[in-house]
Amino acid sequence: MLESIYSVLIALWQQDFTALMSPGSAVLVYCVVGGLIFLESGFIPAAPFPCDSVVVLSGTLAAVGVLDPFLLLAIIISSAALGSWAAYGQGHWLNRLPIVQRWVSAVPSNRMQQVDVLLGKHGLVALFCARFVPVVRSLLPLMMGMRANKVAKFHYFSWLSAILWTLLLCSLGMLLPQLPEHLSRIVTMVLMAAPVITLVTAIIGIVSVKLRKTYKQQSKLKAVASEQRVK
């Protein structure tokens, strides 16, 4: 079972249509796609997952008859909305836990600034924008859980944004087989590169934040040591 799930994960990562179209793989594809989207939408450490390209690829698989489009849409929308609810719950109930605080502190400062701007200017409507931005997709609901108390409105916008996000990306995936071969190859290459770029960006951001903290701590220690020497 684990080997089958691993093979589906690798096939999704590599955009391997042949492996994904093998008999009996549809159920596993549904489960893996739903799980990836739930985790990426609800937990900051899962932000590097290639969920945008996975949704597009799922739409392509539905277009060629491998997956049922209506069941696929229901799974993706539910996973995305429930993932946002999980992130909101972390902010609302679990924000005092050290592990959640570490997740937030590991987010690059520019992403945190984007969240503050979205919260300050647009509030709950910002969920529409955040759904299309990796890292912010899970970070914004978490921050809303820390700062907002309008649960009903949050769920409304969360489901609505999940529906729009899913329809847009799945529609793109369904149109992909109809494109000319050379254009389809370019789009596929972009989809394959997107997860790598997201992963590298996240790693660079986390490393840079830790290096800055280490540098500040060392600077403070040097300043204290120099003051003691003067005295």
* 231 residues of the chain, pLDDT tens digit each: 566 666 776 776 666 666 666 656 778 888 888 988 998 888 877 766 767 778 888 888 888 787 888 999 999 999 999 998 888 888 777 766 777 667 666 666 666 666 666 655 665 677 777 777 777 788 778 877 776 656 667 778 788 888 988 998 888 888 877 777 667 667 666 766 665 665 566 567 667 777 877 877 777 777 777 776 665
Distance, CA of 154 to chain centre: 18
Q: What is the pLDDT of residue 102?
A: 72
- For 99, the token pair is 């592990």
Tell me which residue has tokens 């489960």: 31
DSSP H helices, the chain, are 2-13, 17-20, 26-42, 51-63, 69-93, 98-105, 109-121, 126-130, 136-147, 151-175, 181-230
Q: What is the pLDDT of residue 70?
A: 92
What is the maximal distance between C-alpha atoms in the chain? 78
Category of 108 on φ-ψ map: left (φ > 0), alpha (ψ -120 to 50) or beta: beta
